[in-house]
Structure 1
Amino acid sequence: MTQLPPLLLLHGVMMSGSAWSRVAPLLAPRYDVHAPTAAGHAGGPALTGSATVAELTDHTERFLDDLGLDSVHVAGNSLGGWMAIELARRGRALSVCALSPAGFWTPGAPDQTKRAGKLIRVRQLTRISAPVQPLALRSATVRRLSMRDIASHGDRLTPAEARKSASDLLGCPAGLDLLSTTEAIAPLDPLPCPVTLAWPEQDRIFSAAVHGVTASRLVPGARHVSMPGAGHVPMIDDPEQCARVIAAATGV
């Protein structure tokens, strides 16, 4: 029996492995798919002290070690895209597909703080609205409006999926540390493996016009692609497009 190539899916900050619940089944016929929840996130391994991207990447390496996998194809969104690039730097990636990756910024500058501020506001609004969420999220309009900073079509989630997203956000102790990190992506040239950077065209957090330009300078060998109709978390807006972009990036 032919063994399927391993594929690791890494979610964004204040989310969980369930962020890939609509994409993973589309990829499962072609890959051995793993979608863990990151350390310091709801359902993931606990952290001690302040959370850093480096430490989360350490935990992900241990996850691969436990599976007996030396190297894998890696796809990640936002924070997960950043971690995918760091795994490549460490020699653990066969290929990388980073969907709207975080980390292409100057720490403390507006290209980080303004974008992180949007996610912090999402967290604050989610906390304030928690008592009414079970009822409110039954409304497609409410789901779309409440998720407008991270998705163009939040209404495409079911009420149960939207509640799980809110629960993951509020249950993430590492969130504020990661949103205020002083880390950034260091130059990566030459590339240790093929790297695709995918930029959703309706992203309100990290845009190709700002962060993609920085990425071109820091990772000059990467391939850039656009994702029409999708927001910052394209797995919500267009799972099929995500699966196609990831599959093309692996070259399998």
Structure 2
Amino acid sequence: MTLNHVRRGKGSPLLLVHGLGAGWRSWEPILNDLAASREVIAVDLPGFGESPPLDGEVSIATLADAVAGFIKELGLDGIATAGQSMGGRIVLELARRGVGGDTVALDPGGFWSDRELAIFSATLRPSIALVSAVRGALPALLSNPVSRTALLAQLSARPWALSAQTVLPDVTGLADAPATGAAMDALTKGPKQQGAPAGTVPGLVTIGWGRRDLVTVPRQARRACTAFPDAELYWFDRCGHFPQWDAPQEAIRLILDRTT
């Protein structure tokens, strides 16, 4: 299927894959800076942003199928990829399949224990329900540092320091995207992420993790690196689940340094 996307910049192509939320706009805090050095292609996954939902089952496998099909459709074989959260898991799944080139996965899902997965589901689902219930008031709530901190404490290490412009697309996307519920089911009820034996992934694989991530907690990083033994682990200090929010310049440097 054709996925809605934006293309900016010139140079070696780089594909950005978002997590739950705003679609390609999740990358806006760092998109233009990346595009100063590369041709950046940022997609809306099916059912997010302006891409239509999948006709059938929504799973990590079918979402990865859609991205793989997009890569083939645009003739982007070997393209470097970067993803965050669910998007980080999708780019690792593509690397596991041998699709794409260098890979940067930021705080990917799929490496939780059963207990961690239960906590993830029990805490994030009510948060999504809450932002849906107060959808009309979100611009005002996110403009206030106190209410912004209350709403985003699970997602950011320093929500009071963020701008409403930075976070509003992702938060409203959680409420608006037709695929949010199905994607949450895929994450919480589907299989955990499979790994790739050493020497089987294309290009370099880098896994970045926020030391203060309360969604995919930091101890999951070691499991991710065990599953992908060729990967290099990078820690973002003082960073929560969204490096593009909490550490944008550091995220830009990591993505540019670790992909060609």
Q: What TM-score, normalized by structure 1, do the two folds share?
A: 0.90
Contact preservation (8 Å) 1:116, 1:180: no
Partner of 2:181: 176
Deviates more, 1:225-234 or 1:35-44: 35-44
Q: Does 1:36 align with 2:43?
A: yes
Any idea what SS the aligned residue of 1:187 has? coil
State the SS of the aligned residue for 1:23: helix
Query: Would you say 1:100 and 2:107 are equivalent positions?
Result: yes
The DSSP-based 3-state class of the residue aligned with 1:224 is strand
Tell me the number of residue pairs that the alignment of Structure 1 and Structure 2 aligns.
Answer: 246
* Displacement over 4 Å in runs of 4+: none
CA shift, 1:162, in A, is 3.6
Cα root mean square deviation, aligned: 1.9
**What aligned pairs does 1:102-181 form with structure 2 within 5 A after superposition?**
102-105=109-112, 109-181=114-186
* Alpha-carbon separation, structure 2, partners of 1:172 and 1:44: 10
Of 190, 201, 208, the match for 1:198? 208
Unaligned runs of 5+ in 2: 1-9
CA distance in 2, matches of 1:16, 1:76: 11
Deviation readout 1:135-187 (Å, 9 max, x if unpaired)? 32221222232111111233444334443323211122222232233122112
What letter matches 1:51 in structure 2? V
Letter in 1 for 2:192: A
Corresponding residue for residue 84 of structure 2? 77
| Counterpart for residue 224 of structure 2 | 215
1:161–1:172: structure 2 CA closer, same or farther, 3 Å change rule? same
Q: Alignment partner of 2:43: what SS?
A: coil
Distance verdict in 2 for CA 1:217–1:130, change over 3 Å: same
Instruction: Tell me if structure 2 keeps the 8 A contact 1:144–1:152.
Output: no
CA contact (8 A) 1:137 1:163 kept: yes
Q: Which runs of 5+ in 1 are unaligned?
A: none
TM-score (norm 2): 0.87
Distance in structure 2 (CA, Å) of the matches to 1:132 and 1:24: 27
